[in-house]
Structure 1
Amino acid sequence: MGRGVIIFCVKNFAVWLLIITSAVSIQAWIPLPLSATVKARIDSTTLFFSRYKTPLYHGGNEESYGPPAPAVDSRYYTYVEAPVQSSRSRDTKQPITLSRFLSDAVKENAELRDLESLFMGIQMACKTIASLVNRAGLVYSITEDIRDDITDGRFYSMKRLDHLSTVVLKNALKYTGKCEVLAPKSRLDNESPAQHQPGVLIAKSMDSNYVACLDPLDGSGNADASICTGTVFGVFEKETSTGISLWKKSREDRDRELVDSVLQPGKNMRAAGYCLYSSATVLVFTLGESVQGFTLDPQMQEFVLTHPDLTIPKRGSVYSCNEANSEGWDDAYNSYLRNLKTGKGETGKRYAHRYVGSMVGDIHRTLLYGGIFAYPADRLEHPDGNLQLLYKAAPMAYIVHTAGGKAIDGRSGSLLEVRPDRVHQKSPCFIGSYDDVSEWESYLSDNEGIYYKKGRD
């Protein structure tokens, strides 16, 4: 049996030799180029990292830069020169958070240090309020003291959000440990109960003379309809001091002095801003020299600079106002609007009408795209307009003015020159692009702001 196998193998030696030779040839023909390709890619990776001194880890905790890579076939590897970046160019690609921005601003101007804690409290509150607004339709019960005597569901929702936003902002400012916060009572401001807005806050920095007036949630009635709302604030520096220690005064005297300290014209502001709660949460503010816009990153939960050095276009193509009140407006303003709508204005183009009903949303759009936002006096229902000067109209006017725009009251001139007598005092306002507001101003007479028709129809 074994002898037969040996004889068979000898006789078929030539056949076996041919099979073995073919197998070796196939191995050399097929797998070797594939192996070379893989090897070339591995070697090219080693070459790239070793060239830029990037550590390669070869098991354990040992770090090695590896030997120079051997030459590889150019058919399998194309070397791409990596861009060389300076430290400055790398920094510009990193997101600039609000905390970092304020820290850098304080380094450049030490006088802003006392504002930093105030802004940190505001940004912390804005993050929480943004979450509350987004969940407005999901929260159905809060403290019973808000529910009493409220039958209108929309009003209940508005009052609920106003209350929660006020509590959040008040606690956030107190949490900094550097702010005294007051919700002024009507008796301190000589306001009638109908005019008083209970949610407004006044904050004072304990380490400086900075005082701020804040509206925690403007446009809260829009929240259930998922329409944008916002927080507005303006920061002043106390004009005078009585020289008497704060702790030697009664609580009522301290509160009254705090209220009086914010009754200043808008031109005295040291900072102003607003936070828009909409499809994105955007915080826009100015420290007096430029306007910066930060957007809340929902993953990082940080405000990131997205609109540096905002400037309003010199001319827009949109006007924003509540035309339901047009029957009570003066002929001059109605004439101005007709010219805008028919293309008979200075630009010769027809303007579009956009009105959200939330001042923060309307001003934000105007700031980005230009145009004019207006809330004129209405002789039927709102003889002084319907927007509070101190914590709505004046801060917005200050922001737009800093961004290169213009703001007037239609009576005495610049809106920033008007000094309020009360915290909740209202004023007509016209805010927007410089040329648009100037065009409307040309419709006014010099006779103490009385409107007149200039015959442009």
Structure 2
Amino acid sequence: MDHSEEAYCRTDLMTITRHVLNEQNKHREACGDFAILLNHIVIGCKYVCSVVNKAGLAKLIGLAGNSNVQKKLDVLSNEVFVKALISSGCTCILVSEENEEAIFVEPSKRGRYIVVFDPLDGSSNIDCGVSVGTLVLSSGSGAMDSQLWRVHTNSSQYQEYAYTTIAQHEFYSEFYFGQIPKTGKIYSVNEGNARNWDEHTAEYVENCKFPHDGSLPKSLRYIGSMVADIHRTLLYGGIFMYPADKKSPNGKLRVLYKALHLVPKKIHERSPIFLGSHEDIEEIKELYAAFEDKNA
């Protein structure tokens, strides 16, 4: 992030809308549907940002109903995104982490884009003011049947919210990631689940704390909101882990929103995930490969 005096005195501001329109102008064949879709996603993000910032004052903290495990903000955020995406006229199928089934847009409002989203990731932390976020993937082509979901991703976005929002939703270029560092000094995992890990995950984390080669140990940083943890990992490098364990042998994070390279068989299928710098990922891959070879 640019903290120089010149950065705060810029008058030629690059907003998300301006960036999208600039890119659209490079493709004369573009009809503008994708720009409209992205603009409606931004509208949803702006609204959710607003209610997150005033959640306590607006009495939006807590559960939605007596026995419902959904948070009030989960329900509200989901409704906002569903209505914003349908009103764009550019979507045909919506899949939300908050809905058991896919939403098929009625023919009169139907477009060609499939959008899958988690409207408020990390909402279990909202009561104590921890950063939360939105994850959105959109595709102009895809297929769905009773056995398999395939979404060929055209774009993916995440938006981080806090009581003072860090990743600005209106200005496009507050952060420029470029390329994630090849290795990092941070590992991010919920060590409260350590007793349930498999031996290679446990071995990797032990080596993060007590490196075999005598190098400095990695620092543990774990927020418990994936958008916030991933945002930090992209900026500083390192590794984010949500491994499978004895309690959740198939992992806990949903494939459609958080594991893009996998093809799920159902819309809420779950998977373990390891994400981060190349060298850190290669190290844990080697541990898993060695374990498989030993048991072959």
Query: What TM-score do you get using the length of structure 1 for normalisation?
Result: 0.56
Give the alignment partner of residue 106 of structure 1, picking from 12, 18, 24. 24
Supply the distance in 2 between the matched residues of 1:133 and 1:200 (Cα, whole angstroms): 26
Higher helix share: 1
Which residue is 2:149 aligned to? 263
What's the RMSD between the two structures over aligned residues?
Answer: 3.1
Q: Deviations over 1:24-52 (max 9, x none)?
A: xxxxxxxxxxxxxxxxxxxxxxxxxxxxx
Task: Name the CA shift for 1:141/1:315 in 2 (closer, same or farther; >3 Å).
Answer: closer
Give the conservation status (yes or no) of the 8 Å contact 2:137–2:155.
yes
Structure 2, unaligned runs of 5 or more = 1-9
> Structure 1: which 5+ residue stretches go unaligned?
1-91, 185-195, 241-256, 284-294, 297-301, 395-415
Output one character per residue of 1:379-438: Cα deviation in whole Å (capped at 9) or x when no partner. Answer: 2x11111111111233xxxxxxxxxxxxxxxxxxxxx1x210011100011000111111
Counterpart residue number, 1:363: 230
Task: Say if 1:318 and 1:352, in contact at 8 Å, map to a contact too.
Answer: yes
Contact 2:95 2:101 in 1 (8 A): yes
Aligned to 2:72: 160
The answer to whether 1:170 aligns with 2:170 is no
Residue 139 of structure 2: aligned partner: 236
Letter in 2 for 1:122: I
Describe the superposition over 1:304-341 as per-residue Cα deviations: whole angstroms up to 9, x where unpaired: 42123532111100000011111111111111111111
Q: CA deviation at 1:269?
A: 1.6
Q: Is the Cα contact below 8 Å between 2:95 and 2:116 reproduced in 1? A: no
Kindly indicate whether residue 144 of structure 2 is the aligned counterpart of residue 277 of structure 1. Answer: no
- d(CA) in 2 for partners of 1:281 and 1:162? 18
Q: Is the 8 A contact 2:130 2:162 kept in 1?
A: yes
1:303 aligns with 2:147: no
User: Which amino acid is 1:263 matched to?
Assistant: W
Alignment of 1:38-187 (within 5 A): 94-109=12-27, 110-111=29-30, 113-140=32-59, 146-149=64-67, 155=69, 158-180=70-92, 182=94
Which residue in 1 is equivalent to 2:256?
Answer: 390
Give the partner amino acid of 1:106.
Q
Q: Is the 8 A contact 2:244 2:250 kept in 1?
A: yes
- Where 1:273 maps in the other structure, the secondary structure is strand
Identity of aligned residues (%): 33
Task: State how far apart, in whole Å, the 1-side matches of 2:147 and 2:38 are.
Answer: 19
Q: Which has the higher contact order (CA 8 A, sep 6+)?
A: 2
Q: CA deviation at 1:112?
A: 8.0
Deviation at 1:182, TM superposition (A): 4.2
Aligned residue identity for 1:166: N
Counterpart residue type for residue 226 of structure 2: M
- Aligned 8 A contact 1:180 1:206 in 2: yes
C-alpha distance in structure 1 between counterparts of 2:101 and 2:135, whole Å: 10
- Secondary structure, aligned partner of 2:19: helix
Secondary structure at the aligned position of 1:306 is classed as coil
Larger Rg: 1
Give the length in aligned residue pairs: 281
CA deviations 1:226-269 (Å, max 9, x no partner) are: 001111011234246xxxxxxxxxxxxxxxx5x7698226xx32
SS for the counterpart of 1:305 is: coil
In the alignment, what sits opposite 2:5? none
SS in structure 2 at match of 1:444 = helix
Distance 1:113 1:436 in 2: 40
Partner in structure 2 of residue 343 of structure 1: 211
